[in-house]
Amino acid sequence: MAQLLILTSAVDKEVLPALSLLSHRTRHIPAEAAQLVNTPNCDLIFIDARRDLASARSLCKILKTTGIGVPIVLVLTEGGLTAVSAEWGAADVVLESAGPAEVDTRIRLAIGRQVQEQSSSKIQASGVVIDEASYSARVHGRPLDLTFKEFELLRFFALNPSRVFTREQLLSEVWGYDYFGGTRTVDVHVRRLRAKLGDLESLIGTVRNVGYRFNFFEDENERLAQARNA
Protein backbone atom coordinates (compact mmCIF):
# COMPACT_ATOMS: atom_id res chain seq x y z
CA MET A 1 0.00 0.00 0.00
CA ALA A 2 1.44 3.33 -1.09
CA GLN A 3 0.99 6.90 0.12
CA LEU A 4 -0.29 8.92 -2.84
CA LEU A 5 -0.50 12.70 -3.19
CA ILE A 6 -2.89 14.13 -5.79
CA LEU A 7 -2.48 17.70 -7.03
CA THR A 8 -5.75 18.90 -8.52
CA SER A 9 -7.92 21.97 -8.89
CA ALA A 10 -11.05 19.93 -9.56
CA VAL A 11 -13.86 20.55 -7.10
CA ASP A 12 -15.10 16.95 -7.04
CA LYS A 13 -11.52 15.58 -6.68
CA GLU A 14 -12.47 12.54 -8.76
CA VAL A 15 -9.24 12.73 -10.71
CA LEU A 16 -8.68 9.02 -11.11
CA PRO A 17 -11.85 7.08 -10.24
CA ALA A 18 -10.04 3.72 -10.20
CA LEU A 19 -8.12 4.77 -7.07
CA SER A 20 -11.29 4.42 -4.99
CA LEU A 21 -11.20 0.69 -5.71
CA LEU A 22 -7.61 0.27 -4.53
CA SER A 23 -6.17 0.15 -1.01
CA HIS A 24 -3.63 2.95 -1.45
CA ARG A 25 -3.88 5.96 0.85
CA THR A 26 -4.57 9.20 -0.99
CA ARG A 27 -4.38 12.86 -0.06
CA HIS A 28 -5.50 15.80 -2.19
CA ILE A 29 -3.97 19.28 -2.20
CA PRO A 30 -4.66 22.22 -4.55
CA ALA A 31 -2.62 22.21 -7.75
CA GLU A 32 -0.88 25.47 -6.90
CA ALA A 33 2.81 26.31 -6.64
CA ALA A 34 2.33 27.79 -3.16
CA GLN A 35 1.12 24.43 -1.89
CA LEU A 36 4.42 22.76 -2.82
CA VAL A 37 6.49 24.55 -0.18
CA ASN A 38 5.69 21.91 2.41
CA THR A 39 4.74 18.94 0.32
CA PRO A 40 3.40 16.11 2.52
CA ASN A 41 5.39 12.87 2.62
CA CYS A 42 4.32 10.45 -0.05
CA ASP A 43 5.53 7.63 -2.31
CA LEU A 44 4.15 9.04 -5.56
CA ILE A 45 2.52 12.24 -6.83
CA PHE A 46 -0.35 12.36 -9.30
CA ILE A 47 -0.80 15.67 -11.11
CA ASP A 48 -4.20 16.38 -12.62
CA ALA A 49 -3.40 17.48 -16.17
CA ARG A 50 -6.80 16.81 -17.69
CA ARG A 51 -7.89 20.42 -18.16
CA ASP A 52 -4.82 22.64 -17.81
CA LEU A 53 -1.71 21.19 -19.44
CA ALA A 54 0.33 24.38 -19.06
CA SER A 55 -0.18 24.51 -15.30
CA ALA A 56 0.54 20.81 -14.99
CA ARG A 57 3.81 21.26 -16.83
CA SER A 58 4.80 24.14 -14.55
CA LEU A 59 4.03 22.05 -11.46
CA CYS A 60 6.21 19.22 -12.79
CA LYS A 61 9.15 21.56 -13.27
CA ILE A 62 8.71 23.16 -9.85
CA LEU A 63 8.62 19.76 -8.16
CA LYS A 64 11.77 18.65 -9.97
CA THR A 65 13.52 21.89 -9.03
CA THR A 66 12.83 21.22 -5.35
CA GLY A 67 14.66 17.89 -5.69
CA ILE A 68 11.65 15.82 -4.69
CA GLY A 69 12.60 12.15 -4.58
CA VAL A 70 9.31 10.53 -5.59
CA PRO A 71 7.94 9.78 -9.06
CA ILE A 72 5.41 12.07 -10.72
CA VAL A 73 2.56 10.59 -12.77
CA LEU A 74 0.32 12.75 -14.96
CA VAL A 75 -3.41 12.06 -15.19
CA LEU A 76 -4.54 12.95 -18.72
CA THR A 77 -7.36 12.76 -21.18
CA GLU A 78 -6.53 10.95 -24.40
CA GLY A 79 -6.28 14.27 -26.21
CA GLY A 80 -3.56 15.48 -23.85
CA LEU A 81 -1.16 12.62 -24.55
CA THR A 82 0.43 14.31 -27.55
CA ALA A 83 1.43 17.37 -25.50
CA VAL A 84 3.59 15.55 -22.96
CA SER A 85 7.34 15.18 -23.50
CA ALA A 86 10.39 14.06 -21.53
CA GLU A 87 11.10 17.70 -20.63
CA TRP A 88 8.17 17.63 -18.23
CA GLY A 89 10.08 15.29 -15.91
CA ALA A 90 7.15 12.96 -15.27
CA ALA A 91 7.84 9.30 -14.62
CA ASP A 92 4.66 8.10 -16.35
CA VAL A 93 1.19 9.07 -17.59
CA VAL A 94 -2.18 7.46 -17.05
CA LEU A 95 -5.57 8.13 -18.63
CA GLU A 96 -8.34 9.21 -16.28
CA SER A 97 -10.41 6.28 -17.57
CA ALA A 98 -7.80 3.64 -16.68
CA GLY A 99 -9.03 0.65 -14.70
CA PRO A 100 -7.84 -0.40 -11.21
CA ALA A 101 -5.42 -3.06 -12.46
CA GLU A 102 -3.65 -0.65 -14.82
CA VAL A 103 -3.45 2.15 -12.24
CA ASP A 104 -2.11 -0.19 -9.58
CA THR A 105 0.52 -1.56 -11.98
CA ARG A 106 1.69 1.91 -12.99
CA ILE A 107 1.98 2.93 -9.34
CA ARG A 108 4.08 -0.13 -8.48
CA LEU A 109 6.33 0.22 -11.51
CA ALA A 110 6.92 3.95 -11.03
CA ILE A 111 7.81 3.54 -7.36
CA GLY A 112 9.98 0.51 -8.14
CA ARG A 113 11.95 2.35 -10.83
CA GLN A 114 12.51 5.28 -8.48
CA VAL A 115 13.90 2.99 -5.77
CA GLN A 116 16.27 1.34 -8.26
CA GLU A 117 17.49 4.70 -9.57
CA GLN A 118 18.16 6.00 -6.07
CA SER A 119 20.04 2.84 -5.13
CA SER A 120 22.19 2.98 -8.26
CA SER A 121 23.23 6.56 -7.51
CA LYS A 122 24.63 5.64 -4.09
CA ILE A 123 28.08 4.31 -3.28
CA GLN A 124 28.38 2.40 -0.01
CA ALA A 125 31.69 1.35 1.47
CA SER A 126 32.87 0.74 5.03
CA GLY A 127 30.18 2.81 6.74
CA VAL A 128 30.28 5.64 4.21
CA VAL A 129 27.26 6.30 1.97
CA ILE A 130 27.81 8.66 -0.95
CA ASP A 131 24.79 9.92 -2.85
CA GLU A 132 25.92 11.06 -6.28
CA ALA A 133 22.49 12.44 -7.16
CA SER A 134 22.38 14.93 -4.27
CA TYR A 135 26.16 15.39 -3.86
CA SER A 136 25.95 14.39 -0.21
CA ALA A 137 27.74 11.88 1.99
CA ARG A 138 27.06 10.27 5.35
CA VAL A 139 29.12 8.29 7.84
CA HIS A 140 27.00 5.84 9.83
CA GLY A 141 24.03 8.11 9.13
CA ARG A 142 25.82 11.32 10.12
CA PRO A 143 25.90 13.90 7.28
CA LEU A 144 29.31 15.20 6.23
CA ASP A 145 29.75 18.88 5.49
CA LEU A 146 32.03 18.58 2.45
CA THR A 147 33.23 21.07 -0.10
CA PHE A 148 32.84 20.13 -3.76
CA LYS A 149 36.45 18.91 -4.10
CA GLU A 150 36.31 17.03 -0.80
CA PHE A 151 33.20 15.25 -2.05
CA GLU A 152 34.82 14.46 -5.39
CA LEU A 153 37.94 13.14 -3.66
CA LEU A 154 35.94 10.90 -1.30
CA ARG A 155 33.82 9.68 -4.20
CA PHE A 156 36.89 8.83 -6.27
CA PHE A 157 38.48 6.94 -3.37
CA ALA A 158 35.28 4.97 -2.67
CA LEU A 159 34.93 3.99 -6.33
CA ASN A 160 38.48 2.62 -6.29
CA PRO A 161 38.90 0.83 -2.94
CA SER A 162 42.31 -0.58 -1.99
CA ARG A 163 44.00 0.91 -5.04
CA VAL A 164 46.99 3.17 -4.37
CA PHE A 165 47.13 6.54 -6.13
CA THR A 166 50.02 8.96 -6.29
CA ARG A 167 49.35 12.62 -5.60
CA GLU A 168 49.88 13.35 -9.28
CA GLN A 169 47.26 10.76 -10.24
CA LEU A 170 44.77 12.23 -7.78
CA LEU A 171 45.38 15.71 -9.15
CA SER A 172 44.72 14.45 -12.64
CA GLU A 173 41.60 12.41 -11.78
CA VAL A 174 39.93 14.74 -9.28
CA TRP A 175 41.17 18.21 -10.17
CA GLY A 176 41.67 17.62 -13.87
CA TYR A 177 44.51 17.96 -16.33
CA ASP A 178 44.06 21.72 -16.56
CA TYR A 179 44.79 22.25 -12.86
CA PHE A 180 48.11 24.00 -12.31
CA GLY A 181 48.39 23.74 -8.53
CA GLY A 182 50.95 21.56 -6.78
CA THR A 183 50.54 18.18 -5.12
CA ARG A 184 50.37 19.92 -1.75
CA THR A 185 46.72 20.56 -2.60
CA VAL A 186 46.05 16.83 -2.36
CA ASP A 187 47.63 16.59 1.09
CA VAL A 188 45.55 19.51 2.37
CA HIS A 189 42.28 18.04 1.09
CA VAL A 190 43.09 14.59 2.44
CA ARG A 191 43.84 16.06 5.86
CA ARG A 192 40.56 17.99 5.90
CA LEU A 193 38.61 14.98 4.65
CA ARG A 194 40.08 12.76 7.35
CA ALA A 195 39.12 15.31 10.00
CA LYS A 196 35.53 15.30 8.78
CA LEU A 197 35.40 11.49 8.67
CA GLY A 198 36.18 11.51 12.40
CA ASP A 199 36.42 7.95 13.74
CA LEU A 200 36.62 6.69 10.17
CA GLU A 201 39.67 8.78 9.23
CA SER A 202 41.65 5.54 8.78
CA LEU A 203 39.57 4.84 5.67
CA ILE A 204 42.01 7.01 3.78
CA GLY A 205 45.38 5.39 4.28
CA THR A 206 48.82 6.76 3.51
CA VAL A 207 51.21 4.60 1.53
CA ARG A 208 54.66 5.91 2.40
CA ASN A 209 56.61 7.42 -0.51
CA VAL A 210 53.73 6.65 -2.88
CA GLY A 211 50.42 8.32 -2.07
CA TYR A 212 47.00 7.40 -0.71
CA ARG A 213 44.41 4.66 -0.91
CA PHE A 214 40.88 4.00 0.33
CA ASN A 215 40.93 1.16 2.84
CA PHE A 216 37.98 -1.19 2.47
CA PHE A 217 37.07 -2.94 5.72
CA GLU A 218 34.88 -6.01 5.87
CA ASP A 219 33.66 -5.14 9.36
CA GLU A 220 34.15 -2.73 12.28
CA ASN A 221 36.65 -4.99 14.08
CA GLU A 222 38.96 -4.95 11.06
CA ARG A 223 38.80 -1.15 10.92
CA LEU A 224 39.61 -0.80 14.63
CA ALA A 225 42.55 -3.17 14.30
CA GLN A 226 43.87 -1.18 11.36
CA ALA A 227 43.50 2.07 13.31
CA ARG A 228 45.46 0.67 16.29
CA ASN A 229 48.30 -0.46 14.05
CA ALA A 230 48.51 2.82 12.14
Cα 57 to Cα 64, 88, 155, 157, 158: the distances in Å are 11, 6, 35, 40, 38
- Mean pLDDT across 59-76: 86
Burial class (CB in 10 A: 0-12, 13-18, 19+), 129: middle
Q: What is the pLDDT of residues 115-127, one digit of tens each?
A: 777 665 678 877 8
List Cβ<8 Å contacts ≥24 apart for 218-227.
220/127, 223/126, 223/127, 226/202, 227/202
For position 224, what pLDDT does the model report? 43
**pTM of model > 0.85:** no
Cβ atoms 53, 33 nearer than 8 A: no
Flag whether pLDDT at 107 surpasses 80.
yes
Q: What is the pLDDT of residues 142-193, one digit of tens each?
A: 899 999 999 999 999 988 888 999 999 999 899 986 677 788 899 999 999 9
pLDDT band at 53 (very low <50, low <70, confident <90, very high): very high
Closest C-alpha among 207, 203, 210 to residue 224: 203
- CA dist 84 and 13 (Å) reads 22
